[in-house]
Each structure stands twice: as C-alpha cells, then as structure tokens.
Copies of this chain bind each other. A is one copy, B any other.
Amino acid sequence: MPELRKDPIIGRWVIIATERAKRPNDFKQSTADITEVVPCPFCEGNEDLTPPEIRSVRKAGTEPNKPGWDVRVVPNIHPVLRIEGELNKQPHGIYDMMNGIGANEVIIETPEHTEQMCSLKSEQIAKVLMAYKERIADLEGDTRFKYVLIFKNHKPASGATKIRHCRSQLIALPVCPKSVKGELVGAKRYFEYKDRCVFCDIISQELNDKKRLILEIDGFIAIAPFAARFPFETWILPKKHSADFTSITEEDAYELGKVLKEVLSRMNRLLSDPPYNYIIHTAPYRRPKQGYWSTIDSDYHWHIEIIPRLTRVAGFEWGTGFYINPMPPEDAAQFLRDA
C-alpha cells in the first residue's frame, strides 16, 4: 500500500510509492530510451490492453471496451494511489501518515495515435473537457477525497512515459495539496481585504493593460502571469467568476477548447513542439457554502496553468520556492500574440 506522509515542518503531503520502489541502479544516469511501447494500449482497437473503462464518450450502439469511442477514461494500470481501503490516519512518533488511498485515472483524449492535443479539433477537445468535468463531479461522491488534480504531461521531458498517445491523468486525493491550499488562503486574504476576487481583478487589469494578454476568445482569456515562474508560462481563465471547473457548460467547454487549441498551437509553432504540462486549478471538494466574510466560492476562480518545460529547474528552486525567469512575461505574451 502506498503511503501519504506529511512533512512535520511545512505541512506538505508526499506520496511514498512503496509499490513502485526502486533500486539505486534504476536511478543511474542513462541515455533516455525513447523506443515507443508497441502496440499502443490507448489506440482504438486495443481496448483490451487497459483495465475496463470507467467512462467513455461513444457512438450510439457501441459497447463498452470496444471500438467506437471518442474519449475513454480508464484506471491507471500502475496507480500511484489505491482506490480500495481505509485511510487509517495514524501518528508515527511525531510524524503523521495515512494509507495512500486515492483514484488515479487516465483520460484518453483521442482514439487515434496522435501525440498533439493542438492537432485535435476544438469539438474533440470540448468532449475531453466535459469528460474531465464528469469525472471530477463523479468522484466527489467518494467522501474520502478532498481534492482532484487533472494534469497533462506532454512529451517525456515533461514526465510522460514512452507512450506517445494524447492523454491526461486524474488523481483524487484525501488531502489538499500544499500549493492549492496556499492559493485558497491567498485568494481569501485578498477577498477579505478588497471584497473582490483576486482573479477577477487580474482579468480586469490584463484586459486593460493588454501587455500580458495573449488572446481573448468568447468567455476566456489567456495571459502571461505578472510573476511568471517559467518562460512562456500561460494561464487560461474564464472571464465569468466561478470557483469550480465543474460549473462549465457544453458551450463553455467548446469555447475553452478553442482557446486551449489556439494557445497550444502557438506554443507549438513558436517553440518547436516543446514539452509542457498543464494543470486544472479548481476548488476543493466539500467546501463550506456559507461563511461570514467570504466562501471559497466567492474568493476562488478556477483556471488552467500551462507550463512549457524549457529551462532546467535548479534544485534550489524546488528547495526554496524561489524562481528566476529569464523571459519577461510581457515579451512572452508578445511572442505568443505574434506566433
């Protein structure tokens, strides 16, 4: 059973993946093996190479775990957390830990063997986004979970494995990750001082300033954030205030699909298909709906953060949370506007 362990100083939870445990030799420096896995378990026709599907968007009349789907969600065959069992929260001397309970799913974003999300049609991306929404909403029913992360690793340098088939992952957690907590606390502090959502204020300033605005399509904007940690770091935000990604309608998903396709296509052209990650930042499960000064629903604002993996991050940046970015976000936005 994997373990969730809490750092006693900083309060950060870490998954100790005991079942993935490795020997020192596995970490020795080697030239990366980029041979692809064949046959690809995520291609249409190879449905029997994955665990049975949890959900799929399929053509009428087709059967589960058979061809005929547009989007398919399956359990990760090597899950970092286990879905079965009790949390069993316990001390270990002065330390705190619990069983590594959680969900770890793979969202297969196209039946075809394509690596590029930006080459999918907007309609297809919209279906993927609706699948994210439905999985997030469905897992809220499991009261063991406090937060759900949806993220994409594009290309091996971003953390992806050797399978080059367009997909994202979902991890549902019994704890709220440290940085998410930091965002919630920061947004709450801002709201209590200003009586306005900090993200709404950012959107309003960026639409006025235009210097860090990458694009504006329908109800969404893409910006280079003012204190970007990474070159070409990009945030996509809905202009309408909403804390929860699952509030998106089919129409929103279609518009967001257009924005995502456009931003990723521009990065692809400008930076020659860079490795990247994106992460959906949404409100936690089971948040209180009423508060005296504010609630997460009033303070927080869901968004997507895209991080191209272009620079080597020095360990001291992980160790200190202190970043040096050689690309001013105003320049990055200009390059992406022109791309």
Contacts and interface: CB of A to CB of B under 8 A. Distances in A.
Interface in A244-295: 270-272, 274-279, 281
Contact of A326 (B21, B94, B186): B21
Copy number of this protein in the oligomer?
Answer: 2
A69 interface: no
Contact of A15 (B158, B276, B323): B323
B315 A5 contact: no
Contacts of A149: 316, 320, 322
Nearest to A3: B328
A17 B324 contact: yes
Contacts of A16: 227-228, 325, 328-329
Interface string A162-205: 00000000000100011110110011001000000011011001
A191 B328 CA distance: 40
- What secondary structure prevails in chain A residues at the interface with B? mixed
Interface residues of A, number: 94
Contacts of A80: 324
A23 to B, nearest CB: 8
A276 B319 CA distance: 12
Given A15-B324, A182-B10, A328-B18, A315 B270 contact: no
Contacts of A199: 9
A322 B94 CA distance: 21
A62 interface: no
A196 to B, nearest CB: 9
B318 A229 contact: yes
A61 interface: no
A42 to B, nearest CB: 18
A181 B232 CA distance: 27
Task: Give me the 9 closest cross-chain CB pairs, A-B, nearest first.
Answer: A277-B315, A159-B314, A179-B321, A178-B321, A151-B316, A177-B322, A27-B310, A7-B227, A5-B227
